[in-house]
Amino acid sequence: MIALATSTLSVAAYSILPYVALSIGIGGLIWRRKTDRFGWTARSTELLENKVLRFASVLFHLGVLAAIGGHVLGILIPQSFTEAVGLSDEAYHVLAVVGGITAGAAVVIGFAALMYRRIKFPRVRVTTTRMDVVTFVVLGVAIASGMLATLINIPDSVHYRESVAPYFRQIFVLNPDPELMEGVNWIFQFHVTFVWFLYALWPFSRLIHAFTVPVGYPLRSPIVYRPRKAGRPQTGKFGGGSPDYSPSIPAVTKATPEGSGGPDQGS
Amino acid sequence: MKVRAQMGMVMNLDKCIGCHTCSVTCKNVWTNRRGTEYVWFNNVETKPGRGYPVDYEDQAKWKGGWELDRRGKLKLKAGGPLRKLASIFYNPDLPELDAYYDPWTYDYDKLISSPASDQQPVARPKSQVTGDSLDLNWGPNWEDDLAGSAEHAVHDPNFRNIQEEVRQGFEETFMVYLPRICEHCVNPACVASCPSGAMYKREEDGIVLVDQEACRSWRFCVSGCPYKKVYFNWNTGKAEKCNFCFPRIEAGMPTVCSETCVGRLRHLGVVLIDTDRVEAAASVADDKDLLDAQLDLMLDPDDPEVREQALRDGIPADWLDAASNSPVYAMAKKWRIALPLHPEYRTLPMVWYVPPLSPIESVGAELIRDGGDEENIFAAIDQMRIPIGYLASILAAGDPEPVRLSLERLVAMRRYMRDVNLGNEVRPSIATEAGMEPHELEEMFRMVAIGDYDDRYVIPRRHGEVSPDAFTAQGSCGIDFANGAPVPGVGAMTGVDAPDPYGGALASASSGEVTERGALAQEAPDPEFDIRDLLVKRHPAETAGEGDHA
């Protein structure tokens, strides 16, 4: 329940905005999945430039993965749990700061290099859409504010595990508590509020490719055969199959010329 | 045994004149769109040469195709799925655009719109990607007809494993035209490389396609294909490739490249493949055994047992008849005159090549013209101007024997038929020396030398009555996204909004809109104009009659 003491702005930013953003984000994902599978792609530009991309893309993406992992750990795992497994608050903070700064630095450097590349190389520049520009600005602000928040919290002054983290857990259990956010450092407030715009933007931007991780690839047979009629998987790894294989195209034998009719049988 | 039908092609290099008609017609049909300017599903290379993209045959560099690991198991040369997922943020084996070429057009508008000046106006080359001016130093067929061969052909990777030196002396140069399309392999490395499962072989005819809606821009197909015949559309962010003109094939028509081939050197047909043995065939230890292993996969369509199993596996009877008359089966397996391109890549390619004969350097021309000295024929073939070792490194994993056999049979056919055509006494011994029957040489002559349309193209039509969902599959080959037109829905947000080097003239020309600028400017059509007036002198009464009806 929303406390009466909280201001209207606070309610809007901490209680309403998250659900609006998540609704747009999740609804957008479903809509995009249904209407635009063709546009659901990473839109790689490696063909057009690969020397800067080589380190920038790897640095950025690995940094982002580490940063996302850090956010998940920091938000979802309660302080009581880490204390229970014997990790002191001081040790946890050192881990969080060192990990956060490392991942953040990778993201910042990678992102800056990717932006430099996009502006510097005309071939990459021409593939940039207006939506890309919006995405890069929003992503850039989110990254900058996140990095700044990490640096500001080096002395462990914010105590976000007692404020920001429970605030997020409350959102996920559909019981937001804006008061938890009201006392924290302004940069945390800004970062937490701002990233909702990123989530709302996500399905409509090139960031959509994050939802296409090909996890099934290692389990798949190397050679893929597709039947005309969907729904029946192939049998063997390299396209072979058992003798009881049921055909998708019924055999048309010479003995029964009237068998399956159709005007275009002849060769 | 598990029988599948597979479309294949044979190209007779003996007939290729390097005119590039196949490339141009293919380009006009499939890849004259934004994002595919640099893409040639069909291209014709002059060998020796570096090819398109540059040095694509150098698998030490590009890591395309398959190899055997230490335990003799078949694996992708660039690494398996886990390795690929680990390098998904940067594909270390992907060629950059410059390895193909920076596509360009010319600034033709300058020729007519420049103000009066002391200098002639010049149409400068402009990149079709960025619109910027280019200094041209590489392009499609830059090394055509051995142009600059001292600089380029010496890098041809095919010279690496043979004794031959690159011959640069005027009297001893040689060249071969090599038209290339997607090989529609039985064991395609591109398909195995695709993390999304977007690439697939069609069950009914083995044509390899990219599902444009499932492609996620990971690019491993491009680097995985050792022939570099999967391309990346930089505008849509999707892979595209030769689709064997499947809409035509389904209607029983030959591919555009085949139909328009001036030398009539392409043959199309169906072969029956035992897919239960594909992995074993691609895994034989010695590269030189791959050709035989692949031929062994190609089942005899006249064998009753094969026929019965094929029917059980769902292959229609008219397809089996087409397989019996298949020029691909005849040339590759029956007569063994067609060879696969780089079998050592272990992809079991299905576009085959008849190696070219070439002038004999020292023995002289008597060999064919005068029937030749029986003793000398086999020696003479080794002295043909195009070194057998070179052809073998392209078509037979370095083994000269299959190439020699093919050339011997082509020579035997000429010697034998010369007697037939001149009314001389026919010598069956010519056939038996080449390991064939006289009637086989005559059949071969009909296929190779006469090459009637219906002999070259034996294409069974698709069975539309059992696959009624063609309508829902329309658009899946990707060309409805021509010129980067926005797709419905969010595509409008992701579609690239790049400067158009044609200044919009193409788009307005095709929409019939009148534009003031550029060479493509159109005038309003003359309502009196009738194109037939240009073709024939028409009788005034005829045109007057039409006026009444109009």
CA distances from A16 to A23, A194, B158, B541 (A): 11, 13, 67, 81
**Which residues span the domain enclosing B470?**
464-549
> How far is C-alpha B253 from the chain's CA centre?
17
- pLDDT at residue number A172: 92
- pLDDT at residue number B173: 82
Residue B200 counted as domain residue? no
Residues 3-42 of chain B whose Cβ lies under 8 A from any Cβ of chain A: 4
Sheet order of strands, B298-299 included: B298-299, B266-274, B3-12, B351-354, B339-340
Among the listed residues B331, B340, B355, the one whose alpha carbon sits nearest the alpha carbon of residue B396 = B340
User: Mean pLDDT over residues B387-408, rounded?
Assistant: 94
Residue B74 counted as domain residue? no
Residue A267 counted as domain residue? no
Residue A228 counted as domain residue? no
How far is it, in rounded angstroms, from Cα A34 to Cα A28?
Answer: 10
H or E segment and range at residue B5: strand B3-12
How far is it, in rounded angstroms, from Cα B411 to Cα B421?
Answer: 15
Q: State whether residue A265 sits within 8 Å of chain B by CB.
A: yes
Joined tokens for residue A110: 């990678």
Query: B246: which chain A residues are within 8 Å (Cβ-Cβ)?
Result: none
Q: State whether residue B279 sits within 8 Å of chain A by CB.
A: yes
Residue A105 counted as domain residue? yes
Q: List chain A pLDDT tens, one digit each, 267 residues.
A: 344 456 888 888 899 999 999 999 999 999 998 888 888 888 999 999 999 999 999 999 999 999 999 999 888 888 888 888 888 888 889 999 999 999 999 999 999 999 999 999 999 999 999 999 999 999 999 999 999 999 999 887 778 888 899 999 999 999 999 889 888 899 999 999 999 999 999 999 999 999 988 988 999 899 999 886 544 445 567 766 543 333 333 333 433 333 333 333 333
Query: A61: which chain B residues are within 8 Å (Cβ-Cβ)?
Result: 89
Among the listed residues A180, A257, A176, the one whose alpha carbon sits nearest the alpha carbon of residue A1 = A176
Q: Are residues B363 and B444 in the same domain?
A: yes
CA distances from B510 to A14, A238, B454, B505, B518 (A): 53, 45, 36, 9, 14
- pLDDT at residue number B375: 61
Query: B188: which chain A residues are within 8 Å (Cβ-Cβ)?
Result: 223
Report chain B's mean pLDDT, rounded to a whole number: 84
Residue B550 CB-density burial (10 A; 0-12 exposed, 13-18 middle, 19+ buried): exposed
- pLDDT at residue number B259: 96
Q: State whether residue B184 sits within 8 Å of chain A by CB.
A: no
pLDDT tier at B436 (50, 70, 90 boundaries)? very high
Residue A253 counted as domain residue? no
CB nearest B203 (choices: A46, A129, A226): A226
Q: State whether residue B509 sits within 8 Å of chain A by CB.
A: no
The listed range with the strongest mean pLDDT (A153-157, B298-302, B507-511) is B298-302
Q: State whether residue B327 sits within 8 Å of chain A by CB.
A: no
Contacting residues for B183 by C-beta, under 8 A, at least 6 apart: B227, B229, B340, B341, B347, B349, B350, B351
User: B489 and A36 in contact by Cβ < 8 A?
Assistant: yes
Q: Is the CB of residue B194 less than 8 Å from the CB of residue B211?
A: no
Residue B315 counted as domain residue? no
The CATH number of the domain holding residue B429 is 1.10.3650.10
pLDDT tier at B477 (50, 70, 90 boundaries)? low
Lowest mean pLDDT segment, chosen from A87-101, B283-297, B483-497: B483-497
CB nearest B219 (choices: A36, A44, A236): A44
Joined tokens for residue B283: 């895994």
CB nearest B94 (choices: A38, A46, A61): A46
Residue B492 counted as domain residue? yes
Among the listed residues B275, B268, B290, the one whose alpha carbon sits nearest the alpha carbon of residue B461 = B268
Q: Are residues B427 and B510 in the same domain?
A: no
B511 pLDDT higher than 80: no
How far is it, in rounded angstroms, from Cα B222 to Cα B241?
Answer: 9
- pLDDT at residue number B509: 40
User: B322 and A229 in contact by Cβ < 8 A?
Assistant: no
Q: Are residues B436 and B468 in the same domain?
A: no
Q: Spell out the SS3 assignment of B157-187.
A: HHHCCCCCCCCCCHHHCCCEEEEECCCCCCC
Residues 302-321 of chain B whose Cβ lies under 8 A from any Cβ of chain A: 309, 311-319, 321
State the greatest distance between any 2 C-alpha atoms of chain B, in Å, as a whole number: 84
Q: Which of these three, B395, B429, B451, is where a domain ends?
A: B451
Residues 400-439 of chain B whose Cβ lies under 8 A from any Cβ of chain A: none
Helix %, strand %, coil % for chain B, to 5? 40, 10, 50
CA-CA-CA-CA torsion sign (B312, B316, B321, B322): negative
B512 pLDDT higher than 60: no
- pLDDT at residue number B481: 45
Residue burial A216-249, b: 16+ Cβ < 10 Å; e: rest: ebeebbbbbbbbbeeeeebbbebbbbeeebebbb
B515 pLDDT higher than 60: no
How large a percentage of chain B has pLDDT more than 70? 79
Q: State whether residue B188 sits within 8 Å of chain A by CB.
A: yes
Q: Spell out the SS3 assignment of chain A.
A: CCCCCCCHHHHHHHHHHHHHHHHHHHHHHHHHHHHCCCCCCCCCCCCCCCHHHHHHHHHHHHHHHHHHHHHHHHHHCCHHHHHHCCCCHHHHHHHHHHHHHHHHHHHHHHHHHHHHHHHHCHHHHCCCCHHHHHHHHHHHHHHHHHHHHHHHCCCCCCCHHHCHHHHHHHHHCCCCCCHHHHCCCHHHHHHHHHHHHHHHHHHHCHHHHHHHCCCCHHHCCCCCEECCCCCCCCCCCCCCCCCCCCCCCCCCCCCCCCCCCCCCCCC
Query: B234: which chain A residues are within 8 Å (Cβ-Cβ)?
Result: 45, 47-48, 123, 127
**Which residues span the domain enclosing A29?**
8-218
- Quick: pLDDT tens for B447-468: 999 999 999 999 999 887 665 5
User: Mean pLDDT over residues B173-185, rounded?
Assistant: 94
Q: Is the CB of residue B217 less than 8 Å from the CB of residue B228?
A: no
Q: How far is A133 from chain B (nearest CA, A)?
A: 11
Q: Is the peptide bond before B157 cis (omega within 30 degrees of 0)?
A: no
B60 pLDDT higher than 90: yes
Lowest mean pLDDT segment, chosen from A132-136, B27-31, B155-159, B321-325: B155-159
B495 pLDDT higher than 70: no
Q: Is the peptide bond before B48 cis (omega within 30 degrees of 0)?
A: yes
pLDDT tier at B470 (50, 70, 90 boundaries)? low
The CATH number of the domain holding residue A172 is 1.20.950.20
Q: Which residue of A has its CA nearest to B127?
A: A123
Among the listed residues B406, B411, B364, B409, the one whose alpha carbon sits nearest the alpha carbon of residue B383 = B364
- pLDDT at residue number B370: 53
- pLDDT at residue number B503: 42
Residue A241 counted as domain residue? no
Q: Are residues B396 and B363 in the same domain?
A: yes
Q: Are residues B469 and B422 in the same domain?
A: no
Joined tokens for residue B93: 């084996």
CB nearest A245 (choices: B2, B234, B278): B2
Residue B275 counted as domain residue? no
pLDDT tier at B535 (50, 70, 90 boundaries)? low
Q: How far is B528 from chain A (nearest CA, A)?
A: 42
- pLDDT at residue number B369: 54
Q: How far is B349 from chain A (nearest CA, A)?
A: 14
- pLDDT at residue number B405: 95
How many structural domains are present in chain B?
2
Query: B103: which chain A residues are within 8 Å (Cβ-Cβ)?
Result: none
How far is it, in rounded angstroms, from Cα B153 to Cα B417?
Answer: 37
Q: Is the CB of residue B191 less than 8 Å from the CB of residue A222?
A: yes
Residue B510 counted as domain residue? yes
- pLDDT at residue number B101: 96
Residue burial A29-50, b: 16+ Cβ < 10 Å; e: rest: beebeeebbbbbbbbbbbbbbb
Rounding to the nearest 10 degrees, give the CA dihedral for residues A7, A10, A12, A15: -110
- pLDDT at residue number A250: 39
Q: Is B146 helix (H, G, I), strand (E, B) or coil?
A: helix
Number of CB atoms found within 10 A of residue A206's CB: 22
Residue B203 counted as domain residue? no
Q: Which of these three, B419, B451, B483, is where a domain ends?
A: B451
How many structural domains are present in chain A?
1
Residue B411 counted as domain residue? yes
Q: Is the CB of residue B320 less than 8 Å from the CB of residue A257?
A: no
In the chain, the amino acid numbered B542 is E
In the chain, the amino acid numbered A186 is W
Among the listed residues A253, A228, A232, the one whose alpha carbon sits nearest the alpha carbon of residue B465 = A228
How far is it, in rounded angstroms, from Cα A42 to Cα B198?
Answer: 14
User: B494 and A123 in contact by Cβ < 8 A?
Assistant: no
- Quick: pLDDT tens for B98-148: 999 999 999 998 898 989 999 899 999 999 999 999 999 999 999 999 888
Q: Which residue of A has its CA nearest to B490?
A: A36
Q: Are residues B386 and B472 in the same domain?
A: no
Residue A193 counted as domain residue? yes
How far is it, in rounded angstroms, from Cα A216 to Cα B285?
Answer: 30
| Strands B43-47 and B66-68, bridge-based pairing | unpaired
Rounding to the nearest 10 degrees, give the CA dihedral for residues B480, B484, B487, B489: 180
Q: Are residues B498 and B469 in the same domain?
A: yes
Q: How far is B187 from chain A (nearest CA, A)?
A: 7
User: B232 and A45 in contact by Cβ < 8 A?
Assistant: no
Q: Are residues B374 and B443 in the same domain?
A: yes
B505 pLDDT higher than 50: no
Residue A79 CB-density burial (10 A; 0-12 exposed, 13-18 middle, 19+ buried): middle
